[in-house]
Chain A
Amino acid sequence: MRLPKLSRTIIVWLVDLAFILVAIPIIPYFATSANFANILVRLLIIYLVALAQSFAIVVGGADLSVGSNMSLATAIGSYLLIIDPLMGFLVILASGAILGAFNGFGAVKVGLHPFIVTLCTFLIAQGLALTLRPRPGGRVPEMLFNSLYSTYYGIPVLSIILLILVLLAMTFLIERTRLGRSLLAVGGNEKAASDFGINVVLVKFLAYIIAGILAAIAGFFLGVRIGCGHPYVGEPFLLYSFGAAVAGGTFLTGGATSPIGTLGGALLFALIDNILWLSKLSTYHSLIVQGIALVIVVGISEAMLRR
């Protein structure tokens, strides 16, 4: 179980490196400080939502609600962050935790298929976001935006620190804590985990709550980035979350994930997104390219794993 995880991580980082090396000479403005900050903020958002998805996947589920969870977070943020940033952030966390708890309740306690219950949560969160913000609007304090994009000698310090913090925290959680090991055990073999005395129900429940909270944090940063609340802005991130998690070595059948690999997967999507944007391709064409890139990257890493 551990070997493919490690090599998948290396593969995805190698692909990232290749992308960067190819993009620097070809794409104008790619290797500029402003674009660097841009990629990192994008990366932070995609990384958080991919981690959220990987927590749902690792216990053998899937979370279709991460996208509308993010939209809801931007909608809440557009009202509260201007009043009190800390309070706004805490309310966003709470909304994510509640949505996650609802997912966990349906999937674990009731025994619904994760697809069904997270589809319901998707609809509910979407409805809440639409109620709060029928149209994009509201304001997020520029102070947050400026500090997220602030550079120190051309280096966007805050986003780098945040990324490293998230990476360390998640690696610690997965590798070093009881909860993390239990998550992997439950996802790998539920029956065996239960026989070893792990409280399977509680562990799965917590996994969904963590997923909800992480998606809400991703939504917070997305709201800061776009500067307003938007009822649909989170939707494309559902794809990124699956793609980054799987490209980074999370098995869709559960039981294995790697925070550093997921970071590589998230970087891949941040890069693809950024390169397509810089090369001024229309949204329609970039959708096609994204689809093809996704298949090629996952296909290549599968082929390399099997060698």
Chain B
Amino acid sequence: MKKSTVILKYLPGVLSSLLRNRTVAVYLSVTAFILLSGVIVPTVFMPSNIIGVLRQAGILGVVALGQFVVIMGGAWRRDVGIDLSVGSTLFMITIAFGHIVRWVHSDALTILLCLLIGAIVGFINGIIITKGNVSPLIATLAVSLAEQGITWTLSITPVQIPEYLLYIGSGRIGLLPIAFLFFLALFVIFWVIMKYTTYGIRIYAKSSNPQGARLLGVNLALYTLSTYIISGVMAALGGLLYLGFLVHPAMRFIDIFTFDSIAAVLIGGTEFVGGIGSVLGVLPGVVFMRFIYYFVLFFRVPEATRRMMQGLIIFIVAAAFILQSKRMRTS
């Protein structure tokens, strides 16, 4: 009896402070959007659709975790951190895998080499940015061009994709695709790293006050470099997952990863400056970005109209979220 009155007394306060939390607000608005679209088109909750959305969200999520680290800690001098090369890295890995397998004749070694390629791409990005003082936007754009050029000179080789890669990319347990569970595991790991380890805390410090962080002994160049390496490795990992999903990689590649991963991170409440944002926002961000891809498929309209619908939906939901959080801040 008494306990319940205590709960009732504090409930509104707790609720409103919860709502004021950015991450909670993102989770709530994405959930609300998905439920609402379920009311409009009930078939979006078909099991096959849920599996599809979660699988694609998992693959995008792996890439977006790397993008998150770059947006949080990849700023250099006066330019914000951004990695525009993730989509091209992912594409390159899906094609290069077959060539490497033929060369080394070992699946495990191939996967290691693919991740190494991702790390090298990230290292090149980071070196161009920190040593050449080229702004991240330009540097990663240039690297992505070069990667596309390299990928297109490779040919597609027929290749036996290892069982476990197929399992991770295409398999599922009940309604949960393995790719999504794989992402969730990495998601927890990244959350712990960013929140509780020295590395993560220093990245946040660098983001909110670079000069202060430098004076406290954070090697800015090294930490900036590290974020691009992480992003490169995650993009390569995303490429391996995507390969496990595609099975037969194609040269016709539409980059649905680079800008979507950035949008997912930004929708998740992370900002380019000021150490604002959390890994936790990546999950609703990627689910939202992939949900709309599948959602617009339910309207029997041409691809052109679907693209416009995607644009408008992202705009409306992001705007609703911004306006909502503005109102919360002022009230």
Contacts and interface: CB of A to CB of B under 8 A. Distances in A.
B47 interface: no
Best-surrounded residue of B145, B267, B318 (most CB of chain A within 10 A): B145
A106 interface: yes
Nearest to A284: B152
Interface in B115-138: 128, 132-135, 137-138
Contacts of B128: 295, 299
A294 B311 contact: no
Interface stretch (A42-50, A122-130, A143-151, A215-223): A122-130
A121 interface: yes
Interface stretch (A84-92, A169-177, A285-293): A285-293
Contacts of A284: 148-150, 152-153
Interface in A160-215: none
Interface string B288-331: 00000000000000111111111110110011001100100000
B314 A116 contact: yes
B133 A299 contact: yes
B290 to A, nearest CB: 15
A298 to B, nearest CB: 5
Nearest to B139: A295
Interface stretch (B32-40, B100-108, B186-194, B258-266): B258-266
Nearest to A289: B149
Interface in A228-264: 239, 242-243, 246, 251-253
A20 interface: no
A226 to B, nearest CB: 20
A129 B80 CA distance: 31
A303 interface: yes
Contacts of A280: none
A131 interface: yes
Interface residues of B, number: 48
Given A120-B312, A295-B128, A251 B78 contact: yes
Nearest to A128: B308
Counting chain A residues whose Cβ lies within 8 A of the other chain, the interface size class is 35 or more
Contacts of A292: 142, 146
A185 B271 CA distance: 23
B279 to A, nearest CB: 18
Given A112-B319, A113-B266, A291 B142 contact: yes
A122 B310 CA distance: 10
Contacts of A130: 302-304, 307
A46 B70 CA distance: 30
Contact of B137 (A106, A122, A242, A306): A242
Contacts of B306: 127
B147 to A, nearest CB: 8
B244 to A, nearest CB: 26
Contacts of A253: 78-79
B231 interface: no
A119 B307 CA distance: 11
Given A106-B319, A116-B318, A252-B79, A286 B307 contact: no
Contact of B259 (A64, A113, A299): A64
A142 interface: no
Interface string B132-171: 1111011101111111111011000000000000000000
Nearest to A239: B141
Contact of A288 (B141, B149, B314, B319): B149
A289 B312 CA distance: 37
B72 to A, nearest CB: 15
Best-surrounded residue of A122, A124, A290 (most CB of chain B within 10 A): A124
Contacts of B272: 113
6 contacts: A126-B304, A284-B149, A288-B145, A291-B147, A291-B149, A306-B133
Given A124-B307, A303-B133, 16 more contacts: A113-B266, A117-B315, A119-B311, A119-B314, A120-B314, A127-B304, A128-B304, A130-B303, A246-B138, A251-B78, A283-B152, A287-B148, A289-B149, A291-B147, A295-B143, A299-B132
Interface of A: 62, 64, 106, 110-113, 115-117, 119-124, 126-131, 134, 239, 242-243, 246, 251-253, 282-292, 294-295, 298-299, 302-303, 306
